[in-house]
Structure 1
């Protein structure tokens, strides 16, 4: 059974709004205060640019902490911001790279809100600064200064994962070219994390952010491009793709469990674990909804791997094992051991 804490990386996926083109949003902030006052148009075609300009300016004037405080204050009352939160934090990260001296310094000012979009934005800023040729010439150097490389820390993962987003930015979102570029990194963890970022970016660009559409998503084939990529990329693809598939089937978990079952060994495990992340995200990382959605699996393999994915997401979201332990206590008795062992294995990376 494959356990990867990166399953929690796509917290941008699924919250509230289900659309045929996809199911994309972000983990919410857990507390709120009085809205700070920014108002952008509700037209999806222009809203993102408005938010980006506002928060980039705020970073320039007051720093990253002020931008995140403002975003947190606005978030509860602004549905458009909730939908675009991950993309907004991309813009904050891009502005941070300009303000601070390099990737490592920008990372020290960051946070994991809205699916860790800030870190992805920092790396996209690197891509925009260096340009395609210079970025591709030495991919290993980009994250070399991030602490925790030896122990594969969350910050280091976020950096090499963010490289996948960055490579998509300089390849005009050409998924297959970006995947090949990730092969240029040294180390299997680095390559896999980069590939994970490529597949995540492919979902994010599907119209949910400023009318930006992917060439590599098909409503008639919800698990594409996983069905078309090379074998070495398939696990990372299936760890992401259920979020899109859920959008296509209007949030019907039973249907996506069935789609995953048809994938076959060994990739269906990643597919089921991806559904677990989605179950947690749609449930706002609350126990009852997560348990109920994972229970829609028709056999122990489906349910157990859904719980694994959910437990990973709980630890990632809360940066603690407390809520994951509550999840493990609430699932069926036959699933509790695997839930607890998953939680114990992943919590060390924080």
Structure 2
């Protein structure tokens, strides 16, 4: 695996509740004997859409071990080949199974989920249904991919993207905070795809949104995609398209119900209306700078910098090979208003470099030492616990992490993060939030309950 695959797994980790029963209608089966998937060594399919995910995963494993062009590309083609017959929810379940069995798949699972989302998208009319069919797994990459597919479709058709379009995009999901966030974050990814990874133009697209929350979340998606396209170009929308085009029919409009947004080089490499002359008008843009750890954050308007520094440790650690101390020193050079954001983001990155192991994560945050005015280590641990809970969609993973944290101040920060996360994940079920907080260490149950808004902020229970 390439050096920064852990940073891909950690970047902007967040997730949402799966909506039971949601699925994307596939094309009707012809009843004919299925052919092997193009570009793979897979046997003809013996499974059906109702087959258990482990059975389908075993079929993919067996067929991709010695695939021409490598196992990674074979797995992606096989997974997207499942969509029409099995739907996006089952295809993601197969990906989740493969990620548990194969280190290589696990390292690239978030990016593979992006690819599945892109190819699951069919039309603006069915986009909301497709979006909610995605599960929370693999850091919700499927959600982001569906939004990318939408913007690629608009670009291919030459349709304008204005305030009306971006404001309407996430409106169906306002009742689910997690899903709402991922729609907004995915908008940043999608605008980058639309504008051929030209960050300033994508950020201007985010500025069209009237909601502060959506706009700022959109910035974050754009900055994440900016780093991905510089460090992992095969995981951009265009990169996924090239993988599919190598397979032949799976990149064609016919293979995707005729929607055409995923057909050929025009849709992904040129992006239709966003390519050609319009792309030329964007001007030069340098995505990252190996010699300047604060770039591009120090080159964009201040209104974008909070979201930028919230992702910057990812490219920094990509370039320095996971050197925590060097990344922490870079965070100290960030403008003071954004230093806490940078140190928290460092904690997010560390969880990936530590393979989500709690003890290793804490040890790596310990390398921050007294940097950040003595707060860096605590901020790092706070960012780490938020990421661990987001990845698992489970506050109890945060509780377990907080038990291992050392020091009263660090534990206060940790359990407050757990309490806040229960609001996002569980919503209005106060009793469920309280049950999660009850698992905290006795001296910090009240901290968790206040952050979870189970108790009023002014109420101080005995500790």
TM-score normalised to structure 2 length: 0.65
Question: How far, CA to CA, are the matches of 2:302 and 2:197 in structure 1?
Answer: 21
Of 159-168 and 45-54, deviating more is 45-54
**Deviation at 1:230?**
1.0
SS of corresponding position for 2:172: coil
Q: Does 1:336 align with 2:411?
A: yes
**Deviation at 1:74?**
2.4
Alignment match of 1:313 (pick from 387, 401, 414): 387
Alignment match of 1:252 (pick from 299, 323, 326): 323
Q: Which residue of 2 aligns with 1:37?
A: 59
Higher CA-based Rg: 2
Contact 2:350 2:364 in 1 (8 A): yes
Q: Does 1:93 align with 2:164?
A: no
User: 1:130-183: CA deviations, max 9, x gaps?
Assistant: 22643335210111111426xxx0100000110001100110000011111101
Change (3 A) 1:211 1:61: closer
User: 1:45-67: CA deviations, max 9, x gaps?
Assistant: 87665444322220111112321
Q: Which residue of 2 aligns with 1:136?
A: 162
Question: How far, CA to CA, are the matches of 2:348 and 2:179 in structure 1?
Answer: 20
User: 1:216-269: CA deviations, max 9, x gaps?
Assistant: 111112331112111111110111110111111111101100110111311111
Alignment of 1:223-302 (within 5 A): 223-299=294-370, 300-302=374-376
Question: How far, CA to CA, are the matches of 2:351 and 2:311 in structure 1?
Answer: 14
User: 1:50-87: CA deviations, max 9, x gaps?
Assistant: 44432222011111232123212322454443343222
Backbone CA RMSD of aligned residues = 2.8
**Deviation at 1:125?**
1.0
Q: Which residue of 1 aligns with 2:3?
A: 18
Alignment of 1:99-178 (within 5 A): 102-131=126-155, 133-136=159-162, 138-148=165-175, 153-178=177-202
Change (3 A) 1:167 1:84: same
**Deviation at 1:277?**
0.6
Change (3 A) 1:284 1:176: same
Question: How far, CA to CA, are the matches of 1:178 and 1:87 in structure 2?
Answer: 20
Change (3 A) 1:41 1:232: farther
Contact 2:386 2:417 in 1 (8 A): yes
Contact 1:23 1:244 in 2 (8 A): no
Contact 1:103 1:142 in 2 (8 A): no
Question: How far, CA to CA, are the matches of 2:168 and 2:101 in structure 1?
Answer: 41
Contact 1:312 1:342 in 2 (8 A): yes
Question: How far, CA to CA, are the matches of 1:208 and 1:45 in structure 2?
Answer: 17
User: 1:328-349: CA deviations, max 9, x gaps?
Assistant: 2212213111111122122201
**Deviation at 1:106?**
1.3
Question: How far, CA to CA, are the matches of 2:235 and 2:357 in structure 1?
Answer: 31
Q: Which residue of 2 aligns with 1:191?
A: 215
Q: Does 1:349 align with 2:424?
A: yes
Contact 1:246 1:253 in 2 (8 A): yes
Change (3 A) 1:99 1:190: closer
Contact 1:87 1:209 in 2 (8 A): no
Alignment match of 2:400 (pick from 326, 330, 336): 326
Contact 2:98 2:106 in 1 (8 A): no
Q: Which residue of 1 aligns with 2:98?
A: 74
Q: Which residue of 2 aligns with 1:59?
A: 83
Return the structure number with greater relative CO, CA threshold 8 A, min gap 6: 1
Question: How far, CA to CA, are the matches of 1:342 and 1:44 in structure 2?
Answer: 46
SS of corresponding position for 1:222: coil
Question: How far, CA to CA, are the matches of 1:113 and 1:184 in structure 2?
Answer: 30
Structure 1: unaligned runs, 5 residues or longer: 1-15
In the alignment of these two chains, the number of paired residues is 327
User: 1:173-209: CA deviations, max 9, x gaps?
Assistant: 0001111110110121111000000011112222424
Structure 2: unaligned runs, 5 residues or longer: 14-52, 240-284, 426-463
Of 279-288 and 224-233, deviating more is 279-288
Change (3 A) 1:168 1:45: farther
